[in-house]
Amino acid sequence: MSEHFRAFSFVDRIHSIQPGARIRGSYTIPPSLPDFPPSLVAEAVGQLAAWAAMAAVDFQCRPVAGIAAEIHLLSPVRPGQLLELAADLESVDNEAVSYDGTAHADGVPVIRLQHCVGPMLPLETFDDPQKLRDRFALLQAAGATPGAFGGLPPLPLLIHSSDAIGQTLRATLHVPPSAPFFGDHFPRRPAFPGALLMKSNLELAASLAEHLPQPATGGKWVPQAASDMKLRSFTLPGETLEMKASLSRISSNEAIINVETRKGAQLAGSVRVLLSAEEKP
């Protein structure tokens, strides 16, 4: 079975759309999954915005992940929950789309994206424009059958021992040469999803946070937001990414960790992770 619209698609229905302005949709997290990380919730919002952007330019271009000024991780989600997705476009043209977006589950806000920018690239280099038009029509009509996403393959982060404990932490991610999500992201130009890079960056920041002085609350450090996220290049199947997390600032109840991702000498991405102190249970 083709992985197209299955292995990395997180919009089941489009409920309403004002061309070039706003779009509302939903996605049911398959109940069989062990979990659904916040990076995939962010991806769902981004995908909803992408549908609006593609429709606005008559499917000549599609956006790719580029910049997210702020991603607020408000609440975790559970498999089986229905995500209510919303995106408001500030602008869209053949060069870029800029948007804000949110996701709610059971009426609770779970993520908020602010000032996101996606460069627009020729759609036909990524996918069949007619298939996307047909999918767009389906999403607005009956909707897609929920449950197609079967989860992520293991993406182990190889964390290296640090010579500056509590200050920096390095890790290697070997992007798999093949994986189901490549069939959907994207059929004609497989690329490692920015959302999965974000997932790995958050994991590395959390790992570094385990070595920080315990916060004043006596609890753990928990990622609350990601800011100034920027993706500079595509990561192809089989490539190796080197990540470095560095403590930027720490107070009694807040810590900021910068994470940079490189392919060789080239900076591939960067993000700032804000962690706050969880109350001791």
Binding footprint of other proteins on the chain (CB under 8 A): 66-67, 90-91, 93, 95-96, 98, 115, 117, 119, 228, 230-232, 270
Nearest CB to other proteins, comparing residues 69 and 157: 69
Residue 101 CA to residue 56 CA, distance in Å, equals 17
CB of 193 to other proteins, least distance (A): 17
Residue 196 CA to residue 190 CA, distance in Å, equals 14
CB of 213 to other proteins, least distance (A): 26
Residue 151, sorted as left (phi over 0), alpha (psi -120 to 50) or beta, turns out to be left
Nearest CB to other proteins, comparing residues 6 and 62: 62
CB of 84 to other proteins, least distance (A): 26
Show the tokens assigned to 107: 């009426």
Nearest CB to other proteins, comparing residues 14 and 97: 97
CB of 28 to other proteins, least distance (A): 33
Alpha carbon 78 to its chain centroid, in Å, reads 17
CB of 66 to other proteins, least distance (A): 6
Position 156, amino acid: P
DSSP 8-state code for residue 138? H
Q: Using an 8 Å Cβ cutoff, are 259 and 245 in contact?
A: yes
